Structure 1
Amino acid sequence: MPARGPSGPWQRLKPVDLDPLESMGLPSKGETRLLDHKNQERYYTKIVERYLSFCSDATDRDALLHKFGSLSIGKERDRSSGTDTSIASGTTASTASTASAASTAPVAPPFPVPTLSQTGTKDLSAVLMALRKLREGIVASKRIDDFATQAYLFNVRTAILVKHSESYHPAILYLLRTIHPKHPLTSFELREVTGYLVLDAACRRGDLADAFALRNRYKLRDAKVDAILQALARDDFIAFGRVKRTVDGHQAKFLEFCEDGLRRHTLKCFGRAYLSVDVPYLEKATGATFLELVERDGVGWHSDGSKVVIRSIKGRS
């Protein structure tokens, strides 16, 4: 019987099961593989496959929307600047290009990783981080073509569904300021992206003046975006709710940023202008049942049959 040779230490180690999306690092941290165009395309294919796998796990539309909604940032927003006031633990600031171009590239803003409220959303979190790596690779390699446009549009649409502004906002700006002047978007893509930029300014940042300025700068002509801006300018929650039922899923995500604030403003108007109001009209005007208004918004009114008593006038003694 032949003698057994000494076993090397590698034979006792369990093979590492590395996620394909995590196999690449950030180009701003020295990763060079994503500077190659072929590697970018292969990496993008893996990202899309992971995203489709995430979507196919949902049994129906409502389940898919719930999965997207379960991925939240969970931080206060700085409306004046449109950026987060804090960053998630373990994340660091990075530059916008590779280390070789670090001397000329500006420092990139912090990129908070979304908070996972369910384990099933881990794939989507990995997709968002992988898209950031791909964006950095495209920028560092100065690639401007159909693939760059497709990758950035996919990034914008995916990040909007989870309301991750740190992903979609810089991608929108790069599409409009860098890619479009050299490799024009189609008229549909341009209207879609500029519409998102206008809605982000109006709904997330609460800056209507900037929203109208962006609308005029890019000559946006979109009836639904115009209706949203008009409803916000008039603080008209009824019109806001009406147009919300007609927009697509991406535009509806922007409306979620300002819906609660607009509802609270409407409730304040009711409190100052009415002694009582019919329950159906109140629920139509606020887009919520009276019980939801009491539990969620903390209104101190009470129901009296078909009416809601807002203020009671005491009789003279």
Structure 2
Amino acid sequence: MAHRAAHSRSSSGWGRQKQKPPPDPLEKPGYASKGDSALVEIQAQESYFRLIMDRYAQFCRDNSDNLQAAFTSLPRDPSEDATKNPPASLPQKQDPKKQAAQRTTLAAKELSVILVALRKLREAILATAAKTPVPFSQEVHIFCVRTALLAGHPPSYYPPLERLLTTLNTPAHPLGISALNEFLTYFIFDFACRQEDIVTAIRLRDRAEVKIGYQHEILDKALLALTHDDWISFWKTRDHADGYIRSLMDWAADNMQLRALKAIGKSYMTVDLEFLIESCTGRKDGCTWEELVQKHNLGWKRDNNKVTIRIRK
């Protein structure tokens, strides 16, 4: 009887190890470039894209109280592909003071999953370009660029942006003038701010004006500010831009801070801390003194709200 009872407990699942949760449907498909064929049919691509958009909508809902922080949760390093090694989730029980850090980590993990899924879908579309409808390819690439721009992740936005403008903008299926202007603007801003190639940015902008009558006031003001090291105009222009353009302009933020610090260092013996912060960030509360010191290795001395740059001899 004891043997049968033990067998009964085992058969009913007692003593068994917990079953692993089902695989994430976004993580299940592999990369087409590595031979995976899960997304080689248009129906599979469309279904997978709907899953991605649903997860994106859920991500926005889950982080609706501070969506900007959620989108900026990935490491902002142009040389690092954060989607390859997404941050691990933290333990559930946290000290209340660490809840914000936990939410940021979880947001980064989910955002990484979404960006990886978009990369898999783009690879599949590229592998099946001969049979995948161009309008669907355009839709995927547009969604990918916008999402990755908000995340500040060049490996996820620059390749689809370039492909959208060069390969997918076809005579048979041209991008509408509004979309063409939008993505040309992102393309030019990327050269100016992230790649620090202002010459190419200006050349692209002028070529677009000749070819399609392109005009963009915010871009023109930003290019002028970058050309003349005018950090005041740079910050004001950024304040009037939308979230996509602000994300691109932020790649030039550290350089503009450094230019402001150099100009202030040459012009003043002492400055108000508030003036210094506003000059370097465009806002009175844009960052802390400690952040400026660490980022730019400042040797200036602070005394309450005054900063001494050099002492009069």
Task: Give the TM-score normalised by the residue count of structure 1.
Answer: 0.77
Query: Amino acid of the residue matched to residue 310 of structure 2?
Result: R
Seen in structure 2, the aligned counterparts of structure 1 residues 292 and 162 have a Cα distance that, compared at 3 Å, is closer
Contact 1:114 1:164 in 2 (8 A): no
What do the CA deviations read for 1:77-129 (whole angstroms, capped 9, x no partner)? 4xxxxxx2x667xxxxxxxxxxxxxxxxxxxxxx7445566123322211111
The answer to whether the aligner puts 1:193 opposite 2:183 as a matched pair is yes
Match of 2:56 among 33, 48, 51: 51
Seen in structure 2, the aligned counterparts of structure 1 residues 292 and 146 have a Cα distance that, compared at 3 Å, is closer
Match of 1:149 among 115, 122, 138: 138
Q: 1: distance between equivalents of 2:39 and 2:166?
A: 22
Task: Give the TM-score normalised by the residue count of structure 2.
Answer: 0.78
Aligned to 2:75: 72
Q: 2: distance between equivalents of 1:291 and 1:30?
A: 47
Q: Per-residue deviation at 1:231?
A: 0.8
Contact 1:149 1:179 in 2 (8 A): yes
Q: Per-residue deviation at 1:254?
A: 0.9
Seen in structure 2, the aligned counterparts of structure 1 residues 218 and 31 have a Cα distance that, compared at 3 Å, is farther
Seen in structure 2, the aligned counterparts of structure 1 residues 255 and 113 have a Cα distance that, compared at 3 Å, is farther
Seen in structure 2, the aligned counterparts of structure 1 residues 294 and 123 have a Cα distance that, compared at 3 Å, is closer
Seen in structure 2, the aligned counterparts of structure 1 residues 197 and 114 have a Cα distance that, compared at 3 Å, is farther
The answer to whether the aligner puts 1:27 opposite 2:21 as a matched pair is no
Query: Amino acid of the residue matched to residue 169 of structure 1?
Result: Y
Seen in structure 2, the aligned counterparts of structure 1 residues 267 and 22 have a Cα distance that, compared at 3 Å, is same
Q: Per-residue deviation at 1:35?
A: 1.9
Seen in structure 2, the aligned counterparts of structure 1 residues 59 and 245 have a Cα distance that, compared at 3 Å, is same
Aligned to 1:172: 161
What do the CA deviations read for 1:163-208 (whole angstroms, capped 9, x no partner)? 1101110001110111102421111111111111111111111111
Stretches of structure 2 lacking an aligned partner (at least 5 in a row): 1-6, 89-103
The answer to whether the aligner puts 1:212 opposite 2:202 as a matched pair is yes
Aligned to 1:286: 280
What do the CA deviations read for 1:195-244 (whole angstroms, capped 9, x no partner)? 11111111111111111122223334111111111111111111011011
The answer to whether the aligner puts 1:130 opposite 2:117 as a matched pair is yes
Q: Per-residue deviation at 1:294?
A: 3.4
Q: 1: distance between equivalents of 2:286 and 2:249?
A: 23
Aligned to 1:267: 261
Contact 1:67 1:121 in 2 (8 A): yes
What do the CA deviations read for 1:6-45 (whole angstroms, capped 9, x no partner)? x9xxxx8947601111221111111223121111111100
Q: 2: distance between equivalents of 1:291 and 1:241?
A: 11
Contact 1:72 1:114 in 2 (8 A): no
Contact 1:237 1:262 in 2 (8 A): yes
Q: 2: distance between equivalents of 1:133 and 1:306?
A: 51
Give identity over the alignment, percent.
35
Report the 3-state secondary structure (helix = DSSP H, G, I; strand = E; otherwise coil) of the residue aligned with 1:120: helix
Range with greater deviation from structure 2 (117-126 or 252-261): 117-126
Seen in structure 2, the aligned counterparts of structure 1 residues 301 and 289 have a Cα distance that, compared at 3 Å, is farther
Q: 2: distance between equivalents of 1:241 and 1:112?
A: 33
Match of 1:250 among 244, 251, 258: 244
Query: Amino acid of the residue matched to residue 203 of structure 1?
Result: C
Q: Describe how 1:11-22 pairs up with structure 2 within 5 A.
A: 14=19, 17-22=22-27
Seen in structure 2, the aligned counterparts of structure 1 residues 300 and 246 have a Cα distance that, compared at 3 Å, is same
Q: 1: distance between equivalents of 2:39 and 2:56?
A: 20
Q: How many residues align?
A: 272
Query: Amino acid of the residue matched to residue 311 of structure 2?
Result: S
Stretches of structure 1 lacking an aligned partner (at least 5 in a row): 78-83, 89-110
Contact 1:51 1:123 in 2 (8 A): no
Aligned to 1:41: 46
